[in-house]
Amino acid sequence: MAINGKDLISLKNIPAETIKLILDTAEPMKEIIKRQIKKVPTLRGRTVVTVFYEASTRTRTSFELAAKYLSADVVNIAAATSSVSKGESLKDTARTITSMGADVVVLRHPMAGASELLARTVDASVINAGDGAHEHPTQALLDLFTVREKKGRLEGLKVAIVGDILHSRVARSDIWGYTTMGAEVRLAGPATLMPPGIEKTGARVYNDLEEALEGADVVNILRIQLERQRQGLFPGLREYAVMFGINRDRLKLAAPDALVMHPGPMNRGVEISPEVADGLQSVINTQVTNGVAVRMALLYLLTGGAHIEAAY
Amino acid sequence: MKLLIRGGTVVEPVDGRMLEQDVLLSDGRIAGTGRNLSAAGAEVIDASGKLVVPGLVDMHVHLREPGYEAKETLLTGARAAVRGGFTSVACMPNTNPVVDNAALVSYIKNTAAALGLARVYPVGAISRGSRGEELAEMGHMKKAGAAAFSDDGQPVADAGLMRRAMQYARMLGMTVISHCENKELSLGGTMHEGYVSTLLGLKGIPASSEEVMVARDLLLAEETGCRLHIAHVSTAGSVRLVREAKARGIRVTAEVTPHHFTLTDEAVVGYDTSTKVNPPLRTAFDVAAVKEGLADGTIDVIATDHAPHTIEEKDVEYERAPFGMVGLETAMGLVWTELVVGGVLTPLQAVTKMTLHPARVLNIPGGTLGAGAPADITIIDPAASETVDPSLFESKGRNTPFAGRALKGLPWAAIVGGRLVMVERRIADSLE
Ligand SMILES: [Zn+2]
Ligand SMILES: [Zn+2]
C-alpha cells in the first residue's frame, strides 16, 4: 500500500488513516537506523533530489540520510538564495530536475506555495520540506511519531504550541496533524505573532500562556527569530523570554509527564531555558532521530511502497 | 456615412429610459433615436433582442505603453477594449517613464487616436515620477488633454502633498483618483489578511490598509472641496466610509472592479498568481458590502483596473509575481452574470455605472445617446454566453483567474465615432 497522490505538500486534508500509515511505516524504518549496517536496498536505482533555496543543514541531512539508508541515489542542489533574486526561476530548477530523472524532489523554499508550484510542474513526487510560512509536513509527522512513541497514542492529548505562530510552517502542519489524529491543540504567543482566523482550524487560541500550559501533555516550543524584533513585531528578546519563554516553573503547569519539543534550532535562554531544553522531559534529540525514520517512510511510500519485506 | 441600428432596446442613462427604438448615426454623431427610423443609404444593423447602450467607458486601465510594451501596447490595449465593448478608456500613468508631463499626455492621446479604435484618455500623474515628492505639472497636462490625476499603483503617502494636489486639482476643475493604500500596513503583503492568508502562509494586506487612506482622503476632499474618486474599493469599511462621506455632501465618487465583486480570497487557494491583485481579493463579507454599495449608489462606477503582465512574470512563486489581472475582455460578462443576472443591479443601473458615471467623473463625452452626442455605442447581447478563453484575448495579458468561467451577457458590437469597430467579439479590421 502506498500514499494516494503524487506529492506531500500539506497535512491539511490528509486523512487520519494515511497519517497512521506513515507513522506505522516509520516504525520499522527506525529499526533500520538502529542497526549497525544502516542500509537496505529498497530504493536502489531511484533518485532523490534535494533542492534547498534556504539553508537548513538539519533538514537536508535528515532527508539525505533517509534516502541513503534506503539505497537511493541522492543529489543535492543548493539553490543559493541569491539565485532567486538573480531571477533564476523555480521553473528553471524544475527543468533541471526533470532532466536529471528524479523520482522524488525535496524542496525547501522561502516562499509559500513554492512546492505546490513545483509539484504542478514536474512528474516527480514533491515533498515539501518547508515553504515560507505555509507548511512543513515532515516536521509535523516526526512530531506526531515522537509523541505517539512516547505516549502510546495521540487521541485525546493536549498539545500546547507556544511562540511565533504567525511565521511558523511547523505550527500550521502540526495543527492539521494533531487535530486530524484527535488531539487538542492550544496556541499561545504574542498577539502580534498570532495569525488571524487561526482558531478556524480547530485549534484554540489562549491569551494567557499559563492557561494554555495547564495540564498539557505536550509542550511544543517554537523558535523565535531575532529578525521579528527588528520588524517591530515584539518589543524585545528579554521581554519575550519573560512573557513567553518556557522555563522550569512554567513547565510545572503542564502534566507531570509532559513532553518538551522544539523543531530546532533553539535559542536557549529566549524561548526555552537551558534546563528545560536539556531536562528529562525533553525529547528534542529523539525528534531528530525520528525525523530520519519518518522521512524514510515517506520516501518509501511515495515511490510506491514496493517490497517492504525486502527491507528485513 | 450613416449607420442605422434597428430594433434594439435603447438604454439612455441620462434620463433612465429603456425603450425599443432605432438609433441613427450620421457623420460620427448621433442623429436621433425613435421608432421606425429610416435613412437612405444607411448601413443597417439589426439589434433586435439586444441592448443598445452608450459606448462603455472604463476609467481605470493600464495600457503599459511607453516602457512595458511586452505586457501591452496602446494598440493591443485598444483592441482589448473594443473587444470588451469599451469605446473609451482612461489609462493610468504608471508607465516608464511615468506620464507626468504634457508631452507624454499628448503622445498617448495622439498615438491612440491614430489607431481608430477605443478613445484613450490619459490620466496624468499627481506627483513627478509618481514618487510622491513634488507635484507634477498638472496644469500643463490638463491643457494637453489629461482626463484626471492619479499616482495609481502607488499611494500618495505624504498627506501634505495629497492636500496640495487636491487644492490644485480643484482650481483646475479636475478629479483626483486615489489608490488608497497605507504601505506600512500592507508591507510585504500579497493577499487579503485573514483566515485564508493564515492557511496559505502568505503575508496579508489588512482591510485597514485601504480604509485608513480612504478616511484620510475623504477628510482632505472635504477640506479642499476637490472632486475625489476612490479607485478599486475592496472592503466593507471603505464602502461605509464613502457612504457616510456622500451623506455629508463630500464630492466623492468610487469605483469597484469586476474581480472584487466576483471573487473572494478563497480564490487564492492553490496559489494561482492571476488572483494576485492590489487591493487584494477580500472576504465574502466584503464582497456582499461592495454589492450593497453598488445597489444603493454608494459605488458609482465599475472599472476594470485592467493590468496585463507577461506569462513569464506571472508564472512564478506567488510572492514574486506582480500584482494585477486583465479585465477588459471579461468585464461586461461578469457585470451581467454577477450583478444583473445576480439581481444586484438592473440593466439600466449597470449600464449607467459603465457609461454615464465614469464619463462624468472624467468630464469626457459619453454616457448618453442624445442627439448630437458622439456616436459611441455598445450593443450588448444579454442572451449570449461564452466560456472565458484567454487564448482569444486581444490583450497581450493572459493573467485572468476567470479562464473557463461561463459568462452571460456579452458585448456584441462596438461603434466608435459612428464606425463599427467590433462585431461578435471580432475587431473590424479582421472582419473583411
Ligand atoms: Zn491602484
Ligand atoms: Zn490600477
Interface TM-score (ipTM) > 0.90: yes
Instruction: Report the residue from B195, B270, B315 with minimal CB separation from A196.
Output: B195
Query: How many Å lie between the centroid of ligand 1 and the Cα of residue B110?
Result: 25
Q: List pLDDT tens digits, range B46-94.
A: 999 999 999 999 999 999 999 999 999 999 999 999 999 999 999 999 9
Residue B239, pLDDT above cutoff 70: yes
Q: List pLDDT tens digits, range A153-171.
A: 999 999 999 999 999 999 9
CA nearest B16: which of B387, B369, B415, B376?
B369
Look up the domain containing B420 and give its range.
2-52+374-430
B131 and B91 belong to one structural domain: yes
Q: Which of B314, B332, B362 is the last residue of a domain?
A: B362
Q: Assign B42 a pLDDT band (cuts: 50, 70, 90).
A: very high
Cell match 515517506: residue? A298
Residue A83, pLDDT above cutoff 80: no
Over residues A172-188, mean pLDDT: 98
Q: Is residue B368 part of a domain?
A: no
Per-residue confidence (pLDDT) for residue A119, from 0 to 100:
95
Q: List pLDDT tens digits, range A222-263.
A: 999 988 988 899 999 999 999 999 999 999 999 999 999 999
List of residues 6+ apart from A213 with CB closer than 8 A: A160, A162, A188, A219, A250, A251, A253, A254
Alpha carbons B329 and B335: distance in angstroms, whole number:
11
Per-residue confidence (pLDDT) for residue A88, from 0 to 100:
65
Measured between beta carbons, which residues in chain A are less than 8 angstroms from residue B270? 116
What's the mean pLDDT when you consider all of chain B? 97
B265 and B152 belong to one structural domain: yes
Q: Which residues of A touch B (CB under 8 A)?
A: 12, 84, 89-91, 109, 111-114, 116-117, 131-135, 169, 172, 195-198, 200-201
Measured between beta carbons, which residues in chain A are less than 8 angstroms from residue B317? 90, 109, 111, 113-114, 117
Class of domain A7-135+290-303 (CATH, top level): alpha beta
* Number of domains into which chain B is organized: 2
Minimal Cα–Cα distance from B116 to chain A, Å?
A: 39
Q: Assign A91 a pLDDT band (cuts: 50, 70, 90).
A: confident
B114 and B236 belong to one structural domain: yes
Choose, out of A107, A111, A174, the residue to mutate when testing the contact with B (most B CBs < 10 Å).
Answer: A111
CATH 3.40.50.1370 domain residues, chain A = 7-135+290-303, 137-288
Which residue does chain A place closest to B199, by CA atoms? Answer: A134
Q: Assign A311 a pLDDT band (cuts: 50, 70, 90).
A: very low
Residue A266, pLDDT above cutoff 70: yes
CA nearest A168: which of A261, A47, A67?
A261
Q: Assign B39 a pLDDT band (cuts: 50, 70, 90).
A: confident
B115 and B198 belong to one structural domain: yes
Per-residue confidence (pLDDT) for residue B38, from 0 to 100:
87
CA nearest A122: which of A106, A99, A98, A90?
A98
Pick from A38-42, A257-261, B282-286: least confident: A38-42
Cβ contact (<8 Å) for B198 and A134? no
B8 and B129 belong to one structural domain: no
Per-residue confidence (pLDDT) for residue B430, from 0 to 100:
55
Per-residue confidence (pLDDT) for residue A306, from 0 to 100:
52
Cβ contact (<8 Å) for A117 and B271? yes
Which residue does chain B place closest to A194, by CA atoms? Answer: B198
Q: Is residue B369 part of a domain?
A: no
Q: Which of B362, B385, B419 is the last residue of a domain?
A: B362
Q: Is residue B367 part of a domain?
A: no
B78 CB-side CA count, 13 A: 22
B387 and B330 belong to one structural domain: no
B270 and B304 belong to one structural domain: yes
B94 and B243 belong to one structural domain: yes
B283 and B418 belong to one structural domain: no
B224 and B258 belong to one structural domain: yes
Residue A93, pLDDT above cutoff 50: yes
Which ligand neighbours the alpha carbon of B178 most closely? 1
Per-residue confidence (pLDDT) for residue A312, from 0 to 100:
38
Q: What count of CB pairs under 8 Å joins A to B?
A: 64
The percentage of residues in chain B with a pLDDT greater than 70, rounded to a whole number, is 99
Q: Assign B432 a pLDDT band (cuts: 50, 70, 90).
A: very low
Q: Which of B311, B338, B362 is the last residue of a domain?
A: B362
Which residue does chain B place closest to A85, by CA atoms? Answer: B320
The percentage of residues in chain A with a pLDDT greater than 70, rounded to a whole number, is 94
Per-residue confidence (pLDDT) for residue A310, from 0 to 100:
39
Residue A302, pLDDT above cutoff 50: yes
Q: Assign B376 a pLDDT band (cuts: 50, 70, 90).
A: very high
Question: Any idea which fold A137-288 has?
Answer: Rossmann fold (3.40.50)
The domain that holds B196 is classified in CATH as 3.20.20.140
B64 and B130 belong to one structural domain: yes
B171 and B201 belong to one structural domain: yes
Q: Is residue B351 part of a domain?
A: yes
Q: Is residue B243 part of a domain?
A: yes
Q: Is residue B196 part of a domain?
A: yes
User: What b/e sequence results for B337-374 when a residue is b if at least 16 CB atoms lie within 10 Å of its CB, and e otherwise?
Assistant: bbbbeeebbebbbbbbbbbbbbbbbbebebbbbeeebb
Cβ contact (<8 Å) for B316 and A112? no
The domain that holds B415 is classified in CATH as 2.30.40.10
Q: Side by side, which strands form the sheet with B56-61?
A: B56-61, B86-91, B119-122
Q: List pLDDT tens digits, range A118-141.
A: 999 999 999 999 999 999 999 999
Cβ contact (<8 Å) for B200 and A200? no
